Amino acid sequence: MRGRYTVTPYLCTGCRTCELACSFTHAIDGKPGRSRIYPLAAGYKDLYVPVVCFQCEDPACVKSCLVNAITLNEETGAYEISPEKCVRCMACVAACPFGCSLFDKQHNLVVKCDLCGGDPVCAHFCPTKALEFKLFEEEALKEVG
């Protein structure tokens, strides 16, 4: 089911729980370097901004992909990278203005947030609710299109 992923920066403490939850979900070994989300220090003391794929309406990563390896999952609303189609040219990594497409060197894969199949684990583990994922009601989804 589709939903809206929200980030409320002033609630983020920079605890990095989201990063660990993502790492254990996607990389098994729990190394934060493989996370698809990271808290970015915003330049002020104790102010962090969780950076995660915005699932843009008109994504630069999709437009830059020469082999159409990034497609919209209609069920979840996430743009997903097909590892079978991806040729690792890194065009999507360079194209994302937010730095949300990443290259996992150990697994030789380009990765980005896939909303954990429609139920983002990072939002479940965020102790301050700086990250939330709220499902759309069916009626609201029909109105949006």
Residue 145's pLDDT is: 57
DSSP 98: T
Residue 2's pLDDT is: 81
Global pTM exceeds 0.75: yes
Inter-residue contact 75 to 118 (CB < 8 Å): yes
DSSP letters, 26-56, are: HTSS--GGG-S-EEEE-SSTT-EEEE-----
Residue 139's pLDDT is: 41
**Domains delineated in the chain:** 3-144 (3.30.70.20)
Residue 140's pLDDT is: 58
Between 28 and 117, the higher pLDDT residue: 117
Model confidence at 48, pLDDT cuts 50, 70, 90, reads: confident
Calculate mean pLDDT across residues 23-42.
83
Inter-residue contact 11 to 130 (CB < 8 Å): yes
Which neighbouring-strand residues pair with 111?
102
